[in-house]
């Protein structure tokens, strides 16, 4: 297979999926495209759940390596005027999952003809990454067993790195994602007689301020954490004392220690404030995703494979983790592995808009790099 035929193959798939983006757990068309391509490559595959697809190359004894691509799009309207722009108003591949599917199918195409591999390669096409829960759903359905996966690798396009490069980091790469909902129950009344009620607006405001003290004053400053209150709703009218207030927000952490600590501190803060004002509260705290931490040995393995296909100046090592989340972390609880960035940023092609932006796009000439890297990682196993 030539460079050009690989580029044509992945570009065609990426554009087809890009035009018909589908939200989490609704990736029916996308799954059909994947199945069509796997069939044309002669790779056995099956549907997992509604829209997940698992392809498998099994060749004799040897290790089992899993490669994962996510499939879902985002509720955004694409601003691009390109010929392959989204044809679905309000839905767009603004995180590059279309490219992840294309790169993984590219790797499948490279590997299907490789007579030197011995063992099993699982190609995991995962729905619903953005909604969180897609990875866990597939794992619960047993995709990591029979045979048991020994290492898992995945790619994410990244506009912050120059097109054609890759970025590999050992250790924490992306944050644990938590969500909280707080309801403060005060006591309503007339706005002119605040002393006769318990003003939920004032109490919740104090809570918002004090919650900021958790990250700034109670968490080790060299252990990154974020606590953001995203919504604050209270009251019905300018002259009515609010009896209730609700706050929702997110917590992001990079270590298990701080991940466990913050909900306790939130509770402690709310206990104190509501007690001081004679109010009550309910806290719903949900862990949506774990810290994505790349295994040291697997990151090194990926790096060595990258060195076989790319010059050194195109292999980066991100210095910092990101506070964004990624449910690839779920696979890493099951097997060691590594999540790798494929640079797709090009000033010339104006593909430097960040993830989840309506102007997001990528330099497609970078996609074969991802396919080749995944294939090389499998070969090196
Ligand atoms: Ni993404």
Tell me the CA–centroid distance for residue 9 and ligand 1, in Å: 22
Domains and CATH numbers, the chain: 3-173+291-380 (3.40.630.10), 176-289 (3.30.70.360)
- By percentage, how much of the chain surpasses pLDDT 70? 100
Q: Please report the pLDDT score of residue 3 as a whole number.
A: 87
Count CA within 13 A, CB hemisphere, residue 72.
21
Are 94 and 78 a contacting pair, CB within 8 Å? yes
Tell me the CA–centroid distance for residue 95 and ligand 1, in Å: 5
Q: Please report the pLDDT score of residue 6 as a whole number.
A: 97
Residue range 71-83: average pLDDT? 95
Tell me the CA–centroid distance for residue 204 and ligand 1, in Å: 33
Q: Which two tokens stand for residue 245?
A: 């207030």
Q: How large is the greatest C-alpha to C-alpha distance in the chain, in angstroms?
A: 82
Output 226 or 81, whichever has higher pLDDT: 226
Prior bond of 25 cis (ω within 30°): no
pLDDT at residue 163 greater than cutoff 80: yes
- Phi, psi torsion values for 379, nearest 5 degrees: -60, -40
From residue 165, alpha-carbon distances to 13, 241, 329, 343, 373 in Å are 21, 57, 23, 5, 11
Q: Please report the pLDDT score of residue 205 as a whole number.
A: 98
Pairing of the two strands 151-162 and 337-345: parallel
Residue range 54-74: average pLDDT? 96
Helix (H, G, I), strand (E, B) or coil at 18: helix
Tell me the CA–centroid distance for residue 277 and ligand 1, in Å: 43
Tell me the CA–centroid distance for residue 96 and ligand 1, in Å: 6
Q: How confident is the model at residue 168 (pLDDT cuts 50, 70, 90)?
A: very high
Q: How confident is the model at residue 60 (pLDDT cuts 50, 70, 90)?
A: confident
Phi-psi region of 33 (alpha: psi -120 to 50; beta: other; left: phi over 0): alpha
pLDDT at residue 299 greater than cutoff 80: yes
pLDDT tens string 172-187: 999 999 999 999 999 9
pLDDT at residue 132 greater than cutoff 80: no
Tell me the CA–centroid distance for residue 160 and ligand 1, in Å: 14
pLDDT at residue 226 greater than cutoff 80: yes
Helix (H, G, I), strand (E, B) or coil at 225: strand
- Phi, psi torsion values for 259, nearest 5 degrees: -60, -40
Name the E strands within the chain.
45-48, 52-59, 64-70, 119-126, 151-162, 166-167, 171-174, 176-185, 189-190, 225-234, 240-241, 244-253, 280-289, 292-294, 315-316, 337-345
Tell me the CA–centroid distance for residue 215 and ligand 1, in Å: 26
- The long-range contacts involving 257-260, CB below 8 angstroms and separated by at least 24 positions, are 257/223, 258/219, 258/220, 258/223, 258/225, 259/176, 259/178, 259/287, 259/290, 259/291
From residue 156, alpha-carbon distances to 222, 358, 367 in Å are 26, 18, 11
Helix (H, G, I), strand (E, B) or coil at 44: coil
From residue 339, alpha-carbon distances to 4, 68, 124 in Å are 26, 9, 14
Tell me the CA–centroid distance for residue 130 and ligand 1, in Å: 7
Tell me the CA–centroid distance for residue 282 and ligand 1, in Å: 32
Tell me the CA–centroid distance for residue 327 and ligand 1, in Å: 9
pTM: 0.91
Tell me the CA–centroid distance for residue 248 and ligand 1, in Å: 23
Q: Mean pLDDT of all residues in the chain?
A: 96
């Amino acid at each position: 297979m030539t460079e050009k035929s690989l580029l044509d193959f992945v570009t065609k798939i990426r554009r087809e999926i890009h035009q018909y983006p589908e939200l989490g757990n609704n990736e029916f068309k996308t799954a059909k495209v994947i199945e069509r391509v796997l069939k044309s490559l002669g790779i056995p595959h099956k549907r997992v759940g509604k829209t997940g697809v698992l392809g498998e190359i099994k060749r004799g004894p040897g290790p089992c390596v899993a490669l994962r691509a996510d499939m879902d799009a985002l509720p955004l309207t694409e601003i691009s005027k390109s010929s392959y722009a989204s044809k679905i108003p309000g839905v767009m591949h603004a995180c590059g999952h279309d490219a992840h599917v294309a790169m993984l199918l590219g790797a499948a195409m490279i590997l299907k003809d490789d007579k030197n591999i011995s063992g099993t390669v699982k190609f995991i096409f995962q729905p619903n990454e953005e909604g969180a829960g897609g990875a866990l759903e597939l794992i619960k359905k047993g995709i990591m067993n029979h045979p048991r996966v020994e290492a898992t690798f995945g790619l994410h396009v990244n506009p912050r790195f120059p097109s054609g490069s890759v970025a590999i980091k050992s250790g924490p790469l992306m944050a644990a994602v938590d969500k909280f909902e707080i309801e403060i129950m005060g006591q309503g009344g007339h706005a002119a007689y605040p002393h006769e009620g318990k003003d939920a607006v004032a109490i919740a405001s104090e809570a918002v301020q004090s919650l900021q003290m958790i990250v700034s004053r109670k968490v080790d400053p060299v252990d990154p954490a974020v606590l953001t209150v995203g919504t604050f709703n209270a009251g019905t009218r300018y002259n009515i004392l609010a009896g209730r207030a609700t706050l929702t927000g997110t917590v992001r952490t990079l270590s298990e220690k701080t991940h466990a600590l913050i909900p306790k501190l939130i509770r402690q803060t709310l206990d104190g404030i509501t007690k001081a004002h004679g109010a009550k509260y309910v806290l719903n705290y949900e862990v949506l995703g774990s810290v994505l931490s790349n295994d040291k040995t697997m990151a090194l393995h990926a790096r060595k494979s990258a060195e076989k296909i790319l010059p050194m100046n195109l292999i980066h090592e991100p210095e910092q983790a990101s506070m964004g989340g990624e449910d690839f972390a779920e696979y890493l609880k099951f097997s060691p592995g590594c999540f790798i960035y494929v640079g797709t940023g090009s000033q010339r092609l104006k593909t430097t808009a960040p993830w989840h932006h309506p102007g997001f796009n990528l330099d497609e000439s970078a996609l074969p790099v991802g396919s080749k890297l995944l294939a090389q990682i499998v070969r090196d196993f």
